[in-house]
Structure 1
Amino acid sequence: MPAEPPQPDHPTPAGDDAQRWHSTTYGRPGRRPVRAAAQAPGREQRLAELRSPAPAADRPGHGGGRDAGQGGGQGRGPQVRRAPDPRPARRRANVRRRRVLAVVAVLVVLAVAYPVVLAARGWSAVDRVAALPTGDRPAATPGTTYLIVGSDSRDGLSPEEIAEYSAGGDDISGQRTDTIMLLHVPAGGGPAALISVPRDSYVPIPGHDKNKINAAFATGGAPLLVQTVEGVSGLRVDHYVETGFGGFARIVDAVGGVEMCPATAVDDVRAGLDIQAGCQTMDGRTALGYARYRYSDVNGDFGRVQRQRELLGAITAKAASPATLLNPFRAFPLASAGGGAVTLDDDSSVTDLVGFLRGMRAATGADGVSMTVPVSDPNLRTSHGVAVKWDTEEALAMFEDLKRDDTQALRSLTP
């Protein structure tokens, strides 16, 4: 017989048993169990739901497929989506911006202050001398002309330094010139020119007849030497720069030595020099001997002035290199040594000194002009011994080019 449905007075199977019974009776789908009707949430529950954070599916950046205005589920009210607070991000951006500006400000201050302090250190050590003559002088010309003198004066050298630099001998009193050069820095944008004047050049010296130009410095110091150069060239000397034995050697040591490449070995007792051929780094003592020796040079004084220009170029290039200027442990000792090694005319300013350094670097660089006053006779017999006679025509042409500020024309006079 078919099974009878449960009667009300019989106990109804609870839970899943009752559902299975209904779903299998007579093989027909059973009647679904009746669920209790959902009650609307009370006031306390709705307040609690509004205070609680929205579910992850309803937060910005998450899926969920529900609009902000729809209910988040059965029995739940509309969810409130809160926009992120932009103030923390703005504060972080402002902090980063202030840090960047602070770093930039420090770099700007250093970029301005560092060279000023460096120049002040060098300038404070510079000696001054009344080097420019008074009275009638050539008219001012375009560009700037510096007269450079390397003195062999031993003033200020200790006995130990005199021995170290091989600067002793019977004639160590007084002052003479081992180096005389003219540096012309044009105003018209042409190449800077560095011109050696042989110290035995036979020229008229005001008040002293004709003699070797070196005698002008020995007799009347810087003013008479400047007056002699101006008289024989017709070129106005704007500034005077002098250095001595000790100063030259200390500058070389301050830049960490300079590399020179002698073609032959040199053994010169008078200059205290004993070096091999080939490229080598020279310290101050060796570089000074290399600049001074001439008796072992087949070209005599002409070989010496060429080496002096090469040495000045090497010193200037190394002193102006970033490895030197950006290293305060090297730059400040160099500024002190360089300033202490230099004597300037008392009309010079720190701007003139900077112009001299820049001009020297330009003249000894690849685009500069480096030469010696044209000579016709290097062994002129005179009452003052063997002297050097200039090639009058070419020498005057050279000085005329300088007076016109046409340094490019000097290239026709260089070998």
Structure 2
Amino acid sequence: MKERPRGDGEPGEGTPGFHWLYGDGERGPNPSAPREPRPDETRVMPTMSRPAGQPPVDQRPAARSGRPDRSGTPPTPPPVAPTTGPERPRRRRGPRFYLRIVLVLLLLWAVYLVAVPFYAWTKVDKVAFEPKGDRPGDQPGTTYLMVGSDSRAGLTKEQRKEYVTGDVAGQRTDTIMLLHTGSGPNVLMSIPRDSLVEVPGHGTTKINAAYAYGGPKLLVQTIEQSTGIRIDEYAEVGLGGVVEMVDAVGGIEICPTFDMVDKLAGLNIKKGCQEADGRTALAFARSRHSDPRYGDITRAKHQREVVSAVGDEVLSPATFINPFRYWGVWMAVPAAFQFGDGMSPIGAAKWALAMTHVNGEDGMTCGVPISDLAVHWDPERSQQLFDYIKDDKTDDIPKGLCTPTGLPKSVTG
């Protein structure tokens, strides 16, 4: 068989696989024309020239993941499918985080407790109470003069009707009390408003007339002259103020020892301990006709009970825990009280604290020692009590000297 000439790149008969690729058949009449491959032959793709300057393209299949190809280039990692599982849990906050929150809240609460009294104090009216002229010298301890004015000023017609105060003009003192604090037990001593004393410039008359004649200054001068006790601080509360303070603390407990009916004071209650709102507490403190035996002396006793009960409620834990009650109590102070010039917020707080310590072992309450129901002071016994207060020796006061009515125990039983 005659050997067919081969073109460049064409395998010859001696080339392995020649017969497998091309077989033994003839190319037909035109040997240079490409012949159709048989079905069992493999087609060969034509060769394409590469443009000059273009690097060769590696047409080898990429190496399997994790195995470098033969060129030494690390394989490209396969794309990672996004996870569809649950989100990563957030880091839990430890105890220190919550401790900081608690400390911040406590700091804000402390600021609130301090800021509210100072804000209320800016709205309090001050009263000039110190008289001129000779006065007792400085004495140990602190003595407060507490006055309850029966002035109707500031009360609306509806309030006058509700509180049964009437429309009396002017102002007098329904309540006069001395509160002494010092090294011994606190003493809250009532001075009956009908006490007959020497009022400077007005002769012998009822002590409450001093307030009507010359206001706080003349009243302080009269008391200092009659008792020898120096008045260090002054506080005055009006009729409406009693109602507002009692309502601000949510009511107080009163314990009348007999049924009390007094139409002039608008009072009708049974004996025994009970809760009283502001209106009832005011009527309880004003009533002078419900006790036919002691009259105004019993009223002074009830006034001390109301003052002490209000003080207990104001300084109770419920006031400091409840922000609304705390705000209400302090906002009632400017409407309820007037304080003497020189009284500071700290001094007012000390006074309020002292009012809560006038019962039991912490203190005592009593009336000025009197010799009869006409409210004449007992010269000997009253002077003894005044001396104990002046010398701040309240822990030495005999029990028989400090009685609720001011009468000796042998008279009251």
Paired AA for residue 180 in structure 2: H
**Could you report, residue by residue, the CA deviation over 1:76-112 in whole angstroms, capped at 9, with x for unpaired residues?**
xxxxxxxxxxxxxxxx89x736425523531441353
**Could you report, residue by residue, the CA deviation over 1:52-97 in whole angstroms, capped at 9, with x for unpaired residues?**
xxxxxxxxxxxxxxxxxxxxxxxxxxxxxxxxxxxxxxxx89x736
In the other structure, the counterpart of 1:140 is 138
Work out the percentage of aligned pairs sharing the same amino acid: 47
What residue ranges of structure 1 are gaps of 5+ in the alignment?
Answer: 1-43, 45-91, 380-387
Deviation at 1:365, TM superposition (A): 5.3
Say whether 1:409 aligns with 2:396: yes
Say whether 1:283 aligns with 2:277: yes
In the other structure, the counterpart of 2:197 is 203
Match of 2:373, SS state, is: strand
Q: Distance in 2 between matches of 1:223 and 1:232?
A: 14
Say whether 1:342 aligns with 2:337: yes
Cα distance, 1:131–1:332 mapped onto 2, change above 3 Å: same
Cα distance, 1:239–1:104 mapped onto 2, change above 3 Å: same
Paired AA for residue 151 in structure 1: S
Paired AA for residue 381 in structure 2: E
Match of 1:397 among 366, 381, 384: 384
In the other structure, the counterpart of 2:171 is 175
Match of 2:234 among 212, 234, 240: 240
Q: Distance in 2 between matches of 1:302 and 1:315?
A: 20
Deviation at 1:233, TM superposition (A): 1.1
Task: Report the more deviating stretch, 173-182 or 107-116.
Answer: 107-116
Q: Distance in 1 between matches of 2:109 and 2:379?
A: 49
**Structure with larger Rg:** 2
Q: Is the 8 Å Cα contact of residues 174 and 286 (structure 2) preserved in structure 1?
A: yes
**Could you report, residue by residue, the CA deviation over 1:227-285 in whole angstroms, capped at 9, with x for unpaired residues?**
00111111110011000100111111111111212222222110011122333211111
Q: Distance in 2 between matches of 1:111 and 1:370?
A: 36
Greater fraction helix: 1
Q: Distance in 1 between matches of 2:151 and 2:217?
A: 16
In the other structure, the counterpart of 1:264 is 258
Cα distance, 1:110–1:366 mapped onto 2, change above 3 Å: farther
Between Structure 1 and Structure 2, how many residues are aligned?
312
Deviation at 1:127, TM superposition (A): 1.4
Q: Distance in 1 between matches of 2:149 and 2:328?
A: 23
> Runs in 1 of length 4+ with deviation above 3 angstroms?
95-98
Q: Distance in 2 between matches of 1:180 and 1:142?
A: 22
TM-score by length of 1: 0.72
Match of 1:390, SS state, is: coil
In the other structure, the counterpart of 1:156 is 154
Q: Is the 8 Å Cα contact of residues 198 and 302 (structure 1) preserved in structure 2?
A: yes
Q: Distance in 1 between matches of 2:145 and 2:341?
A: 14
TM-score by length of 2: 0.72
Task: Report the more deviating stretch, 115-124 or 332-341.
Answer: 115-124
Computed over aligned residues only, the root mean square deviation of the Cα atoms, in angstroms, reads: 1.8
In the other structure, the counterpart of 1:374 is 369
Q: Distance in 2 between matches of 1:201 and 1:160?
A: 33
What residue ranges of structure 2 are gaps of 5+ in the alignment?
Answer: 1-66, 68-90, 404-413
Cα distance, 1:178–1:406 mapped onto 2, change above 3 Å: same
Match of 2:174, SS state, is: strand
Q: Distance in 2 between matches of 1:111 and 1:363?
A: 30
